[in-house]
Amino acid sequence: MDEDFCREQLQRIRILADRADPFTRRRLLALVGRYDAKLGVQSRPSKIAERPLPAQTTPPASIFSRAGEA
């Protein structure tokens, strides 16, 4: 790949990551890291604050019961 192309892609990906949800942001920033590795550039810290994804909880059993069942 051409170095200029990679740099342009990095810029596009970073812009997308700025606007993305936390899961997609994490995936895009991982892609940025791979492009940086191809270019031999040390990954710079992201300006985007990473927030952990909310813990997924199992809904109460009552949601799964049919009407009239307990």
Q: How many whole angstroms separate alpha carbon 38 and alpha carbon 5? A: 12
Q: How many whole angstroms separate alpha carbon 64 and alpha carbon 12? A: 44
The tens digit of pLDDT for each residue in 45-59 reads 555 455 565 666 766
Predicted TM-score (pTM) of this structure: 0.52
Task: Give how far the C-alpha of residue 16 lies from the chain's centroid of Cα atoms, to the nearest Å.
Answer: 10
pLDDT at 38: 79
